[in-house]
């Protein structure tokens, strides 16, 4: 893949606009820099009726988790994936934390196709699709399946994380719909993190 400019760079360089059409698209996106919303984690949790006292960094709505697992469980012969939408927040005592409100499937025409794994090129297309179809939403990460491989960040996955999801609020969800495992990774280094599910009237670890 090509070297993509960082999404959050705000200093213009003269030859930036002389690049290919593909890089121009990235440049336009980079002008729309997303910033976390200041909010105390106590307020965030009480607004969503989250009663547990843990101060985790990732929160997912039950409806998003349901869509994601149904999508990934619908075909266990290929990797499937999609984009996570939501908001990032910042509490000076906790740092940045993220709310995942919805999960949108990548069309199979943009995804892996005949390939086994998503590549960075696939994700460029998926990101463009997501932004075009959900212009009012904020992308906070991505998800994909590892059918019967277990849940971890592969080398390809780390490249995708660094290229497109390197902000500290970006989440990668990896799910194995065969073994029924799921894991959440946060930020450019894809740190393995715990999650709190909300909005379903219950909190649980079971996802199918
Ligand atoms: Zn993977």
For the stretch 35-49, pLDDT in tens is 999 999 999 999 999
Query: What's the gap in Å between 51 CA and the centre of ligand 1?
Result: 33
Question: What CATH number is given for 37-198 in this structure?
Answer: 3.40.140.10
The answer to whether 2 and 164 are in contact (CB under 8 A) is no
Query: What's the gap in Å between 147 CA and the centre of ligand 1?
Result: 10
Domain ranges of the chain: 37-198
Percent of the chain surpassing pLDDT 90 = 62
Query: What's the gap in Å between 171 CA and the centre of ligand 1?
Result: 13
pTM of the model: 0.80
Query: What's the gap in Å between 146 CA and the centre of ligand 1?
Result: 6
Q: Which of 168, 114, 127 is nearest to 25 (CA)?
A: 127
The confidence score (pLDDT) of residue 203 equals 47
Query: What's the gap in Å between 196 CA and the centre of ligand 1?
Result: 22
Query: What's the gap in Å between 90 CA and the centre of ligand 1?
Result: 28
Exposed, middle or buried, 137 (CB in 10 Å: 0-12/13-18/19+)?
middle
């Amino acid at each position: 893949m090509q070297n993509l400019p960082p999404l959050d760079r705000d200093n213009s360089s003269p030859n930036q606009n002389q690049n290919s059409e593909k890089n121009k698209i990235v440049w336009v996106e980079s002008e729309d820099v997303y910033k976390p919303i200041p909010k105390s984690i106590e307020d965030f949790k009480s607004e969503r009726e989250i009663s547990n006292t843990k101060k985790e960094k990732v929160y997912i709505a039950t409806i998003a988790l349901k869509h994601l697992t149904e999508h990934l469980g619908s075909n266990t012969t290929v990797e499937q994936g999609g984009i996570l939408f939501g908001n990032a927040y910042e509490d000076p005592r906790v740092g940045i934390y993220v709310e995942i409100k919805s999960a949108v499937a990548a069309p199979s025409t943009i995804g892996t196709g005949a390939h086994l794994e998503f590549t960075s090129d696939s994700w460029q297309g998926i990101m463009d699709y997501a932004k075009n179809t959900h212009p009012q939403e904020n992308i906070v990460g991505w998800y994909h399946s590892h059918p019967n491989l277990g849940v971890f960040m592969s080398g390809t996955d780390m490249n995708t994380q660094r290229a497109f999801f390197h902000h500290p609020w970006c989440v990668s969800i990896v799910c194995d719909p065969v073994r029924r495992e799921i894991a959440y990774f946060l930020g450019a280094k894809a740190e393995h993190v715990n999650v709190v599910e909300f909005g379903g009237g219950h909190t649980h670890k079971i996802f199918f």
